[in-house]
Chains A and B, each alone.
Chain A
Amino acid sequence: MTALRRLGSALFAPAIAVVFAVVITALVILLIGENPTTALRVLFDFGDSPAQQTQAIVVILNRAVPLFLAGLAVSVAFRMGLFNIGVEGQYRMATVLAAGAGAAVALPAPLHILLVIVVAMAVGALWAAIVAILKVTRGVSEVISSIMLNFIALGTASWLLTGPLRGSEEGAAIITTKDLPESGQFPGLNGLFDVIGLAQPRGELYGFLIVAVLVGIAISVLLKRTRFGFDLRATGLSPSAATASGIDARAMVVKTMLISGAIAGLIGLPDLMGRTHHFGTEFTAGLGFLGIAVALLGRNSPLGIAFAALLFAFLDRAAVPLQFADIPASVVTIIQGTIVLAVVIANEIARQITRRRAEGDSGQAGPPAPESPPGGPAGTAGSRIDEPQGAQS
């Protein structure tokens, strides 16, 4: 099978899903009496001036970075069959504590940034480790425990914010932690626009984009090229075969959740280190759940998740201009929802097609999955105890 064909079949399902979602959304827009082509034009209209256009790109990329990290965190666990719903709580805890730690110390810039990142990853990992430990020692489903921990994270983060880590004045409408000092803020990437000759946008492109790309590459290498990644994927494909091959399933659960949680810890950092510089009541919540959708859309591969995050962010950007065109912003949510739903269905169909094709490949067209029942298609010479009629003639 050529690489091109494999790529083709990998892109086929998402492409169909996107087309399907666009059709559904167009119908919805028609139904509410607006013009679908207007909506489509708005999606691709990045504004008149060069600065507006680069600004649109910044908005998309800045939104895509946390979405990508969230999708990645979910996908790592998902690759080995764990459903980490707790990403939401993990990044909330990580962000509040990283904000608190970052504001509490004074360090030279690179070290300070590193400290914030390390604290966030460690907290995310530890929060996820609770789920893992409950699973391997007590057999608690990770879905249940991580949902519970999301609630606990919400309350704990709120207590930390209003109590020990409070930085805003009494009575201020928005409660925040203390601001990160300059040395703990991640520099933006707007210099890049000068380099490639684009106009300077109003906003700042998150420097954390680079971290996200590096993490994506690292995870991609980890999953595809390392022994550990092999163990992880093997466990996801068949826990019983993985165990028989010598993989310690319990250790894998813990390690995988630690990695997933560590990545989750990064989700809140682009905003924290690039824009708000504090954790507060206006913290962007819900990215952990969006991450599930992004991971599904990206079929759990880092590159796919990058595309999925960009697509979601691209659609999210249109939420404001759509309202200018008198089309409700919820159209964006409808498109995103239908894409994910369609992708789930399309993936399943595509999987069946590739599997069928694979079966065709070796000329073994029959369904091989249900192996012969005991005493089934045996050799001629077999005289099995459970097949007494098969005596040699």
Chain B
Amino acid sequence: MTKTAALLLAGGLALSACASDEDGGDGGGSGGGSEGTLKVGVAYDTGGRGDKSFNDSAIAGVEAAVQALGGDVDEDIEELSPNEDDSNREELLTQLAENDFNPVIAVGFAYGDIIADIAADYPDTQFAIVDTSVEDLGVDNLTGLIFAEEEGSFLAGVAAASKSVTGHLGFVGGQQSPLIEKFEAGYVAGAKAVKPDIIVDVTYLSPAGDGSGFGDPEGGKVAAQGMYQAGADIVFHAAGGSGEGVFEAAVEAGQRAIGVDSDQYLSASPDQQAVIMTSMLKRVDLAVEEYLNSFADDSLESGTDILNDLSTEGVGLSESGGYIDDIQDVIADFRQQIIDGDVEVPTTP
């Protein structure tokens, strides 16, 4: 018993010893940025850079801001991805803060339960988190970049209901989490606002706590196929990478689908472009860029949330392909009603 404990202890000491032997520490931040320019740290959500979605959108905003402010995209941005089981999120944020990156942007609500503590530990660093409200946390150097997904989804529902011939729609969610339920709630409300008796099939690919639903095109395809066979003619997905399967099912069924987050028409193959009616835009890039700009010109009011909704064009519908050109007036009408507060969009189904 004492032997094992001693071994563990000795191992720890040996490790710390080699650590102290190292003098350089130049594995740390490159620190190339000149005084005054931004040094932005980005901690990605699962999947990291190249996910053609959320993370890519965020980094696009960071790069745009850094470039606009005269910084160097390679030198002044440090991007970190979590490991496969997401167990080192805390390390990502603390390492960025320790290496003097400021501000530090956490992409995704998964950072929500740890970022407040870390921000409190590094009061001189500004933190931002996408998709999480921080208003109730009472941390001064933390900003929440949140979106009114339900508002954009409401418009998607309006468009779908207006275009539907069968009076039957579908919704495929990635994971059954409160965030994705906002999409569902808005979508269903929008559809019913146009046609009160419309049917909306709702499926989630994975239960709460299991992120696999965002990376399961096969599951997405099966779910959408079921909906099309049951009579649905338009399916909206909020399922990340699984959306690819929804589009495939739409192509096979000769029906339509609605994309999410970015304008998915632009990155789709020609046969999928024929079925992607519109996409519910969630402009993470704009939100991040705005945040960085206000940080740079010292106009940032941290400790609170920045809400991106229809009024700020943080959410909306894409028009590529021209499939919804004929109903633009209907959509514009609802948009205005929402902005004016005449229509209350629910956030839970």
Contacts and interface: CB of A to CB of B under 8 A. Distances in A.
Interface of A: 38, 41-42, 44-48, 50, 52-54, 56-57, 59-61, 63, 154-155, 157-159, 161-162, 170-176, 196, 198, 202-203, 213, 216-217, 276, 280-287, 290, 303, 306, 310, 314, 316-317, 319-325, 329, 332-333
B270 interface: no
Which 4 A-B pairs have CB atoms at the shortest separation, nearest pair first? A46-B19, A158-B207, A173-B109, A53-B19
Contacts of A320: 80, 88, 91-92, 95
Interface in B122-138: 131-132
B131 A284 contact: no
A165 to B, nearest CB: 11
Contacts, number: 158
Contacts of B206: 154
A329 B89 CA distance: 13
Contacts of B19: 44-47, 53, 56-57
Given A174-B112, A175-B178, A281-B177, A310 B24 contact: no
A173 B98 CA distance: 27
B4 A46 contact: no
Given A154-B207, A154-B210, A317-B91, 5 more contacts: A56-B15, A162-B207, A176-B113, A280-B209, A323-B79
B179 A203 contact: no
B28 A324 contact: yes
Nearest to A285: B85
B83 interface: yes
Interface string B280-307: 0000000000000000000000000000
Contact of A174 (B12, B24, B84, B113): B113
B121 interface: yes
11 contacts: A44-B22, A45-B24, A53-B16, A154-B209, A157-B209, A175-B178, A216-B4, A281-B208, A310-B8, A323-B79, A329-B83
B131 A173 contact: yes
B88 A45 contact: no
A198 B16 CA distance: 9
Contacts of B99: 324
A324 B209 contact: no
B115 to A, nearest CB: 11
Taking each of B8, B27, B109, which has the highest tally of chain A beta carbons within 10 Å of its own beta carbon?
B27
Contact of A42 (B27, B81, B88, B112): B27
A134 to B, nearest CB: 24
Contacts of B56: none
A149 to B, nearest CB: 15
A170 B88 CA distance: 27
Contacts of B9: 196
Contacts of A174: 109-110, 112-113
Contact of B87 (A63, A154, A173, A322): A63
Given A46-B19, A57-B12, A213-B5, A284 B27 contact: no
* Contact-residue size bin, chain B (C-beta under 8 Å from the other chain): 35 or more
B103 to A, nearest CB: 17
Given A38-B27, A46-B19, A310-B11, A333 B178 contact: no
B121 A202 contact: yes
Given A46-B19, A57-B15, A213 B4 contact: yes
Interface of B: 1, 4-5, 7-9, 11-13, 15-16, 18-20, 22, 24-25, 27-30, 78-81, 83-92, 94-95, 98-99, 109-110, 112-113, 121, 131-132, 175-179, 206-210, 347-348
A159 B15 CA distance: 43
B209 A161 contact: yes
B232 to A, nearest CB: 25
Contacts of B112: 173-174
Contact of B86 (A44, A198, A282): A282
Contacts of A283: 209
A279 B184 CA distance: 25
Nearest to A319: B83
A303 B4 contact: yes
A61 B7 CA distance: 13
Given A158-B209, A174-B113, A320-B92, A329 B81 contact: yes
Contacts of A284: 85-87
B108 to A, nearest CB: 9
Contacts of A48: 25, 28
A161 B25 contact: no
Contacts of B15: 46, 56-57, 60, 314
A225 to B, nearest CB: 13
A44 B348 CA distance: 48
Contact of A321 (B8, B28, B30, B210): B28
Contacts of B22: 41, 44-46
Nearest to A46: B19
B83 A175 contact: no
A48 B8 CA distance: 23
A321 B348 CA distance: 40
Contacts of B347: 171
A217 B92 CA distance: 34
A202 B94 contact: yes
